[in-house]
């Protein structure tokens, strides 16, 4: 089994891993890098001739750094199978509308999507593929690929200790790709959540919290004890995620449904509400958060950023100007969690995705057998 890195290893964003076995070729994810302008570095580092030879693309979840280059792949020669969960397919449309060109978006809308489900094994050529719930988002999965007695686990984005989403145990493998989005962060999830709660308590007049529509929005609804507000365009998508209770921890769906039903509604042009306003996306690049952040800046209204902030984004500009605070919300593994994942998996080699090379080198001091200094274009054989 051969791996080719097309993005997301040695860098943050455009996660895309090529796998080849016995003449069968596929991609695990096809994301974009929102920290750079649209151009060659925005998309995966893969040529049209390589795209033409692919048999399939498996999408682990519908966040932009994992799915937003799907239409670009179709526009540049990909003609194979597209596989993802039903929930990810539903979410991908909004992601592509925000981060793909209209042509790319239209190509995905016309494409046939094959649905996969956690725990249901399937095959692509000689590769046997098994998936499980990732704990990161409704519809999100990790992938285990095996052939010829060798195995690969690609985590995608995972959250081992989410209070809302369920994560299934990872199987053993020979090569493991961990979600290193948080690098060497070792602050426990409960401590992060408590810090956000304290910040909200200090801002009873209300605040703006830009957040991805899927995943973190649901986690924040579960965390925030005071009043919340949302944009009306988010309600149906949030309700659908909560209704997909098979992806959630037992008993949490009822709590989330109650809080969503009580949420205030805010639209562009209205005064910002005296509540924690959740508005997508998490960076101010698209969706209602663009208007909400602009209005908050003019009014001196509190802003709390809780996730990745690409350079040059509206969220980045506000933080640089001292007009927004930042507290990382726990939607990726901490360093101790990744070390535990690697130890339990037993892989002879470990790669870190969604982080730069310097971060990977730091992680190698704690995670044995982690291979650092890899970059797009590099190849590995299992």
| Span 97-114, pLDDT tens digits | 999 999 999 999 999 999
Mean pLDDT to the nearest integer, 157-177: 96
Question: 218-232: per-residue pLDDT in tens?
Answer: 999 999 999 999 999
Instruction: Provide the mean pLDDT of the chain.
Output: 95
pLDDT of residue 286: 84
Cite the residue boundaries of each domain of the chain with CATH code 3.40.50.10890. 189-326
Fold of domain 189-326: Rossmann fold (3.40.50)
Cite the residue boundaries of each domain of the chain with CATH code 3.60.15.10. 2-184+331-381
Question: 36-46: per-residue pLDDT in tens?
Answer: 999 999 999 99
pLDDT of residue 86: 96
User: Distance of CA 175 to CAs 91, 120, 298, 349, Å?
Assistant: 29, 22, 50, 5
Mean pLDDT to the nearest integer, 9-14: 95
Phi and psi torsions of 297, nearest 5° = -65, -45
pLDDT of residue 189: 86
Percent of the chain with pLDDT over 90: 92
Question: 108-161: per-residue pLDDT in tens?
Answer: 999 999 999 999 999 999 999 999 999 999 999 999 999 999 999 999 999 999
Question: 316-326: per-residue pLDDT in tens?
Answer: 999 999 999 99
pLDDT of residue 214: 84
**Per-residue pLDDT at 310 exceeds 90:** no
pLDDT of residue 311: 86
Select the CATH number that applies to the domain covering 2-184+331-381 from these four: 3.40.50.720, 3.40.50.360, 3.60.15.10, 3.40.190.10: 3.60.15.10
What Rg, from alpha-carbon coordinates, does the chain have? 20
pLDDT of residue 219: 93
pLDDT of residue 283: 84
**Which one, of 124, 106, 131, lies nearest residue 56 by Cα?**
124
pLDDT class of 308 with cuts at 50, 70, 90: confident
pLDDT of residue 325: 97
Q: Which residues contact 73 (CB under 8 A, 6 or more apart)?
A: 27, 30, 44, 46, 51, 54, 57
Question: 78-87: per-residue pLDDT in tens?
Answer: 999 999 999 9
Question: 335-374: per-residue pLDDT in tens?
Answer: 999 999 999 999 999 999 999 999 999 999 999 999 999 9
**Per-residue pLDDT at 282 exceeds 80:** no
């Amino acid at each position: 089994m051969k791996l080719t890195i097309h993005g997301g290893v040695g860098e943050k964003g455009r996660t895309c891993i090529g796998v080849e076995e016995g003449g069968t070729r596929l991609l695990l994810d096809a994301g974009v890098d929102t920290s750079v302008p649209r151009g060659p570095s925005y998309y995966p580092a893969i040529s049209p001739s390589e795209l033409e030879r692919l048999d399939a693309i498996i999408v682990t979840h519908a966040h932009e750094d994992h799915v937003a280059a799907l239409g670009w792949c179709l526009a540049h020669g990909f003609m194979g199978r597209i596989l993802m969960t039903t929930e990810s397919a539903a979410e991908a449309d909004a992601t592509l509308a925000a981060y793909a060109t209209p042509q790319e978006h239209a190509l995905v809308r016309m494409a046939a999507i094959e649905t996969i489900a956690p725990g249901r094994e399937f095959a692509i050529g000689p590769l046997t593929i098994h998936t499980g719930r990732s704990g990161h988002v409704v519809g999100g999965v990790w992938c285990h690929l095996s052939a010829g007695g060798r195995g690969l686990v690609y985590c995608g984005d995972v959250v081992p200790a989410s209070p809302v989403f369920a994560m299934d145990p990872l199987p053993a493998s020979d090569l493991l790709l961990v979600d290193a989005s948080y690098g060497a962060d070792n602050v426990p999830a409960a401590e992060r959540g408590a810090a956000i709660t304290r910040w909200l308590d200090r801002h009873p007049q209300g605040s703006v919290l830009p957040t991805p529509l899927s995943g973190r929005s649901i986690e924040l609804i579960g965390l925030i004890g005071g009043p919340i507000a949302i944009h009306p365009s988010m309600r149906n998508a949030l309700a659908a995620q909560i209704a997909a209770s098979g992806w959630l921890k037992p008993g949490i769906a009822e709590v989330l449904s109650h809080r969503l039903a009580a949420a205030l509604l805010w639209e562009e042009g209205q005064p910002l509400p005296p509540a924690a306003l959740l508005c997508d996306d998490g960076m101010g690049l698209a969706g209602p958060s663009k208007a909400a952040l602009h209005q908050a800046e003019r009014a001196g209204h509190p802003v709390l950023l809780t996730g990745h902030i690409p350079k040059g984004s509206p969220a980045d500009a506000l933080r640089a100007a001292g007009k927004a605070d930042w507290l990382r919300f726990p939607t990726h593994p901490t360093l101790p969690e990744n070390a535990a994942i690697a130890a339990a998996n037993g892989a002879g080699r470990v790669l870190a995705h969604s982080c730069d090379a310097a971060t990977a080198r730091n992680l190698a001091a704690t995670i044995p057998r982690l291979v650092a200094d890899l970059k797009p274009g590099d190849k590995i054989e299992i």
